[in-house]
Amino acid sequence: MSDFRPAANPSIVQTQAARTPGRAHVLVIGNEKGGSGKSTTAMHIAVALLSDGARVATIDLDARQGTFTRYIENRAAYARRKGLDLPMPLHAAVQASGDSADEKARFEAALEPAVTTADFVIVDTPGSDTHLSRLAHTWADTLLTPLNDSFIDLDLLARIDPETLKIVRPSVYAEAVWKQRQVRAVQGARPVDWIVMRNRLSSLAARNKRDMGAVIEALAKRIGFRTARGLSERVIYRELFLNGLTLLDLKRGSGPSMTMSHVAARQEVRDLVTALNLPPLSPAAPSAGPATPTATPSRPAAE
Ligand SMILES: Nc1ncnc2c1ncn2[C@@H]1O[C@H](COP(=O)(O)OP(=O)(O)OP(=O)(O)O)[C@@H](O)[C@H]1O
Ligand SMILES: [Mg+2]
């Protein structure tokens, strides 16, 4: 941590309005804390973008656990069983091998077709510090970090004084993101737009919720991210996995019937996608068929 000196958040002033021609916008979902909702969020954002007519590619870097991959397989199986035409992403999973050069080659082999044929690439990462995850972070145009509404999860971003709730110092994941930002800066890539979203928010106005909110806003200025309101705690998120569905699909009349709570939850997902401030689709997409690559994707260094 000795040389950790994060700059002011470039994402606060940054506009994502411009899309690099012929190159997808890369959204990485990352947090070294396990179980924060990365795969659930990745799937919901993928389907939200698909239902807006975008071409979406998805990459699972947590292939051993394979939640994202299973979610998409479950979706394909459900569509087949029910004879539905559900929008599907172009999906790839990259296995860890323990060999950095091999992992870099296989990650880039998965990324290359994704960035040249899709409008958005969504990368789900494992809840731990791995080489593949670090590699993906250097490619992120937008980095979304879901955070369970708990000081246990916040501990990976910063150490907090228990008496005053003041930030003592940034911690491991904040430092990792800072390092990936430096790699991108060296490569001349545009700064990553880092967004932290709270997940599994309680509907109660509990003290923990209020304290977390205050600390996260202070931390945003200190280590350079912006915040999105995030998703409430709802059982429906756990129920949809087996059929590969998301809240965005319920309006199609597939799967469980909608309740008022589901309508509110779906709006939260929509609000989250809006808060990401992703670049608009290029005019030719999506009905013009597969994109013709017009530019070789710029490559940040591996590490
Ligand atoms: N908003 C929510 N409300 C209720 N349950 C949720 C919510 N978000 C996620 N979950 C549940 O929390 C658990 C962890 O979610 P998920 O697998 O998406 O996290 P993850 O960060 O990808 O985990 P890992 O680090 O292990 O890959 C799952 O059981 C999921 O159904
Ligand atoms: Mg996961």
pLDDT in tens, 120-178: 999 999 999 999 999 999 999 999 999 998 999 999 999 999 999 999 999 999 999 99
Would you give the end-to-end CA distance of the chain in angstroms? 18
The band of 253, judged by pLDDT with boundaries at 50, 70 and 90, is low
Minimal CA–CA distance to 236: which of 209, 208, 258?
258
β-strand 158-160 against 167-170: which pairing, if any?
antiparallel
pTM given for the model = 0.89
**What are the tens digits of pLDDT across the range 39-66?**
999 999 999 999 999 999 999 999 999 9
Which amino acid, 161?
D
Cβ neighbours for 226, distance < 8 A, ≥ 6 positions apart: 9, 11, 12, 193, 194, 195, 196, 220
Find how far residue 106's CA is from the centre of its chain.
Answer: 20
Atom 3 in ligand 1: residue holding the nearest Cα: 233
Q: For tokens 């998703």, what's the residue?
A: 231
pLDDT at 286 over 60: no
What separation in angstroms does the CA of 195 have from each of 19, 62, 103, 177, 230? Answer: 19, 21, 26, 11, 10
- In angstroms, how far apart are the furthest CA atoms of the chain? 58
Atom 16 in ligand 1: residue holding the nearest Cα: 37
pLDDT at 97 over 80: yes
Identify residues whose C-beta is under 5 A from ligand 2, the ion: 38-39, 67
How remote is the CA of residue 162 from the centroid of ligand 2, in Å? 29
Minimal CA–CA distance to 225: which of 174, 190, 187?
174
The predicted structure's pLDDT at residue 283: 66
The predicted structure's pLDDT at residue 195: 97
The predicted structure's pLDDT at residue 208: 87
How remote is the CA of residue 2 from the centroid of ligand 2, in Å? 31
Distance in angstroms (rounded) separating the CA atoms of residues 196 and 168: 19
Q: Which domains does the chain have, with CATH numbers?
A: 21-276 (3.40.50.300)
Mean pLDDT, range 24-46, rounded to an integer: 96
How remote is the CA of residue 136 from the centroid of ligand 2, in Å? 15
Protein residues whose CB sits closer than 6 Å to any atom of ligand 1? 34-40, 62, 65, 67, 126-127, 199-200, 231, 233-234, 237-238
The band of 90, judged by pLDDT with boundaries at 50, 70 and 90, is very high
Atom 9 in ligand 1: residue holding the nearest Cα: 37
pLDDT at 85 over 90: yes
Q: Which atom of ligand 1 is nearest to the CA of 146?
A: 21
The predicted structure's pLDDT at residue 187: 86
Q: Where are the alpha helices (DSSP H) in the chain?
A: 10-13, 38-51, 67-82, 100-117, 131-139, 151-154, 172-187, 207-223, 236-239, 260-276
The predicted structure's pLDDT at residue 50: 97
Least confident of 72-81, 234-243, 290-299: 290-299
How remote is the CA of residue 8 from the centroid of ligand 1, in Å? 31
Contact present, 219 and 166 (Cβ < 8 Å): no
The predicted structure's pLDDT at residue 136: 96
Q: Quick one: tokens of 172?
A: 């491991």
The band of 87, judged by pLDDT with boundaries at 50, 70 and 90, is very high
The predicted structure's pLDDT at residue 281: 85
Higher-confidence residue: 289 or 286? Answer: 286
Percent of the chain with pLDDT over 90: 73
Ligand in nearest proximity to the CA of 230: 1
How remote is the CA of residue 285 from the centroid of ligand 1, in Å? 32
Residue 27 pairs in a beta bridge with 122, 142
pLDDT at 295 over 60: no
The predicted structure's pLDDT at residue 146: 97
Report helix angle 260-276 to 38-51, nearest 10. 80
Distance in angstroms (rounded) separating the CA atoms of residues 137 and 211: 29
How remote is the CA of residue 152 from the centroid of ligand 1, in Å? 15
pLDDT at 255 over 60: no
